[in-house]
Amino acid sequence: MNNSKKVIERFRDSLIHWESLNYRPMPWKGIKDPYLIWLSEIILQQTRVQQGWEYFLKFKKAFPNVSKLAKADEQKVLKLWQGLGYYSRARNLHFTAKFIHQAGGKFKADYKWLLSLKGVGPYTAAAIASFAFDLPYAVVDGNVYRVLSRIFAIETPIDSSAGKKQFQLLADQLLDKKNPSTYNQAIIDFGATLCTPKQPNCLECPFEKSCLARQENRIDIFPVKEKKIKKKKRFFNYLDIRYKGKRLFRERIAKDVWKGLYDFPLIETSKPAGLDVLKQTKEWRKFMDGFAIERLEVHPKLFKQELTHQSLIGRFYILQVKKIPKQLEKQFKWATEKNIESLPFPKMISFYLEDKDLYLIL
């Protein structure tokens, strides 16, 4: 890259001018409250803006400041987060709120301190530092990687150590240190709305003539990634057991993405399994021992949910029983339809309960 002062200033000016003509109004933009900026950034991690918008407004209303969030019950936080996925974000959000509340209830205008908060990485720390405190830290997210890799035709993989260092260095060089908040927002918006992953609007781009990827007709290869994610398929067979108007649930206590959420008794299989196969598993025989099944139905829908490293395929079995083994009361919880509304669930369970398609594949 020709990183002369003139080139850098031209890049900044073009980007900020573009932002002034293409401003995207969002409820967290332009505010200086570090709590609300932090809240929005945590919600927007691995989340589309359109979806995050709704959740930001819900959390802002329920918890208008960090102390309100800190004092909330975790189950309430998880319930409000329901449907957003990646629940570790919600748990980290709650943990960090309690930490800040105990430390006086205020965010520090200090990048290193922000970076030390649980759930906050370099991008989020830079976003809070620049948007809330006008500190000169450049944000580097997926949008920034895409914009810079295309304009400067950088072939270093963005998921490599060398790539992360190279892009951060370039982002720091390009940053308008006198106006970091406006610059950071501009490059994020530019990548999100114009220099998009697919079918970028190059004809409207202020960098059309200087973008190396455009000149070389190689837009589609940027940004370059070193590793390809291989997804693991998991097959979930949920048992929706019903008894006298109540349904059986369990709270997940294992350290996984759904810790603290509720789901049905679950039998996981290595491949799709019909009822006959399911009944032959040790888990079915062990779990169903002591139940007197009155009626058994297979829900007609098969659901699929995509996570970063996993594809989840779920089938639900509805069992009406007239007798239940007492030992299960220690492991599971009976809930009425009214109680169910207050419990936080993984997305697949909540869509099933609402009889709403997640990714219907049958």
167-199 pLDDT per residue, tens: 999 999 999 999 999 999 999 999 999 999 999
74-131 pLDDT per residue, tens: 999 999 999 888 888 999 999 999 999 999 999 999 999 999 999 999 999 999 999 9
**Residue 270 or residue 254, greater confidence:** 270
Domain ranges in the chain?
5-221, 232-353
Q: Which residue is listed with tokens 């890799």?
A: 149
Measured at the alpha carbon of residue 215, what is the angle toward residues 214 and 216, in degrees to the nearest 5? 90
Q: What is the mean pLDDT of residues 29-36?
A: 96
**Residue 99 or residue 287, greater confidence:** 99
pLDDT at position 350 is 87
Helix H or strand E encompassing 243: strand 232-243
At the fourth CATH level, which superfamily is domain 232-353? Nucleoside Triphosphate Pyrophosphohydrolase (3.90.79.10)
pLDDT at position 358 is 46
pLDDT at position 292 is 82
By annotation, the residues acting in catalysis are 41
Helix H or strand E encompassing 316: strand 310-323
Both structure tokens of 155: 């072939």
Both structure tokens of 153: 């035709």
In whole angstroms, what is the distance from residue 173 CA to residue 157 CA? 19
Q: How far apart are the first and last CA of the chain?
A: 51
Do the Cβ atoms of 291 and 325 come closer than 8 Å?
A: yes
221-242 pLDDT per residue, tens: 999 998 777 888 999 999 999 9
Q: What is the mean pLDDT of residues 15-25?
A: 94
Give the pLDDT band (50/70/90) at residue 3: low
pLDDT at position 60 is 97
Alpha-carbon dihedral angle through residues 5, 7, 13, 16, given to the nearest 10 degrees: -110
Give the pLDDT band (50/70/90) at residue 255: confident
Do the Cβ atoms of 308 and 229 come closer than 8 Å?
A: yes
In whole angstroms, what is the distance from residue 327 CA to residue 339 CA? 22
Do the Cβ atoms of 358 and 303 come closer than 8 Å?
A: yes
Q: Is the entire prediction scored with pTM above 0.85? A: no
Q: What is the mean pLDDT of residues 45-70?
A: 95
**Residue 59 or residue 341, greater confidence:** 59
Q: What is the mean pLDDT of residues 153-167?
A: 95
Percentage with pLDDT > 70 across the chain? 96
Helix H or strand E encompassing 74: helix 74-81
Do the Cβ atoms of 152 and 1 come closer than 8 Å?
A: yes
Long-range contacts, 96-104 (Cβ 8 Å, 24+): 96/38, 96/120, 97/63, 97/66, 97/67, 97/69, 97/70, 98/70, 100/66, 100/70, 101/66, 101/67, 101/70, 101/71, 102/70
Mean pLDDT of the chain: 90
Q: What is the mean pLDDT of residues 58-64?
A: 97
Q: Domain 5-221 falls in which CATH fold?
A: Endonuclease III; domain 1 (1.10.340)
337-362 pLDDT per residue, tens: 888 888 999 889 988 988 755 444 33
pLDDT at position 93 is 97
Q: What is the mean pLDDT of residues 42-59?
A: 94
Cβ neighbours of 30 (radius 10 Å): 12
pLDDT at position 173 is 95
Percentage with pLDDT > 90 across the chain? 66
pLDDT at position 356 is 58
What is the distance of C-alpha 333 from the center of its chain? 28
